[in-house]
Amino acid sequence: MKIDETSTSMGVQNAIRADDTIMMLGHGNSYGLFSKPDKRGKTDRLLVSGKHVQFLREKTCIGIWCHANLFAEEYGLHGLFSGMIISELQEALDYHVKADKDEIDREMLLFARRLGACLEGNALKDIPRILRETDYQRSELNDFNYGHLHYFE
């Protein structure tokens, strides 16, 4: 079941209850996964937050957003989670990682494809290692992003 920015908290809860593996992708912070930003670029709501944890604890989770690992650690979730992932130029500047917008856009697309391919036939616990070892173009950006993937038992 897919949820999006129009989903209510109850809709998110029902979607989580409906599956054994929950994939959460987007932008966020240590408090959860953001809803889609408004026209001004402001995000005023968390689509997935601490109030959903009771439904996530018994699930296998895949959380790919900035600082999802901190969310998972805080609430004792298990699965595959990203730490900080540079997906925008300002983030590269903030974290002093040499990259331009074109490289970030290209590598984010490749990151998503590689992650998708790994999810097809590998145990979640092996994915951080496999992605780090994947033959990708060595760069500050890739070393940073691939180095911030975590598996929690």
Element (H, E) at 107: helix 101-121
From residue 149, alpha-carbon distances to 62, 77, 85, 111 in Å are 11, 15, 9, 12
If asked whether residues 69 and 23 sit together in one domain, one would say yes
Record the tokens describing residue 7, joined without a space.
């989903």
- For 4-60, write each residue's pLDDT tens digit: 777 788 888 888 899 999 999 999 999 999 987 777 767 778 889 999 999 999 999
If asked whether residues 101 and 142 sit together in one domain, one would say yes
If asked whether residues 65 and 99 sit together in one domain, one would say no
If asked whether residues 99 and 40 sit together in one domain, one would say no
If asked whether residues 15 and 67 sit together in one domain, one would say yes
If asked whether residues 117 and 46 sit together in one domain, one would say no
Record the tokens describing residue 101, joined without a space.
């917008």
Instruction: Return the DSSP state at 149.
Output: E
The mean pLDDT value for 72-88 works out to: 97
Total number of domains constituting the chain: 2
If asked whether residues 103 and 31 sit together in one domain, one would say no
If asked whether residues 71 and 143 sit together in one domain, one would say no
Tell me which residue range forms the domain holding 18: 1-83
pTM assigned to the model: 0.90
Strand 21-25 and strand 60-64: the pairing is parallel
**Among 32, 48, 83, residue at a domain's last position:** 83
CB atoms within 10 A of CB 149: 23
Q: Residue type for 75, please?
A: Y
Q: What was the pLDDT predicted at 11?
A: 86
If asked whether residues 105 and 67 sit together in one domain, one would say no
**Among 83, 118, 133, residue at a domain's last position:** 83
- For 85-112, write each residue's pLDDT tens digit: 999 999 999 999 999 999 999 999 999 9
If asked whether residues 77 and 90 sit together in one domain, one would say no
pLDDT above 80 for 71: yes
If asked whether residues 97 and 146 sit together in one domain, one would say yes
Burial letters 16-45, b for 16+ CB under 10 A, else e: beeeeebebebebbeebbbbeeeeeeebee
